[in-house]
Amino acid sequence: MRTIGLVLLAAVTLAGCETGPSRQQYLASLVGRPESDVLRAMGAPNHLIEANGHRFLAYENTAVGYASTVPFGPFGFGYYYYPVGIPVARTCETTIEVADGKVVSWTLRGNACA
């Protein structure tokens, strides 16, 4: 009985962590909307490509984080961790395809697109 209570408490706590729609949900909501809505919401793109009557708006997000520990070893009992800050670049490129003035699709590429 106590286990069920702990599981319910954990579920309620985690449910409170929702902060809004995911990136994928937000981009899906843009499909069918005019290009001007995208520009209003996301600003000027980093890159703009036009091909065969389609426009591709590319937005790049890059952030540098730091890995807090680095493994070294083994010394018989597994790996030991040396506390060091190593810079790690995390990027996400969002490309939005526009045809006839409306968003028709989008793609994500990178290691920080979750």
Boundaries of every domain in the chain? 23-110
Reported as a single tens digit per residue, the pLDDT across 43-65 is 999 999 999 999 999 999 998 88
Q: What's the fold here for domain 23-110?
A: Beta-lactamase Inhibitory Protein; Chain:B, domain 1 (3.30.1450)
| 13 vs 17: CA distance, rounded Å | 7
Which one is predicted more confidently, 99 or 5?
A: 99
**Cβ atoms within 10 A of the Cβ of 38, count?**
20
The 3-class secondary structure across 58-97, one letter per residue, is EEEEEEEEEEEEEEECCCCCCCEEEEEEEEEEEEEEEEEE
End-to-end Cα, the chain, rounded Å: 36
Query: How high is the mean pLDDT of the chain?
Result: 80
| 26 vs 9: CA distance, rounded Å | 29
In this prediction, residues 7-26 reach a mean pLDDT of 65
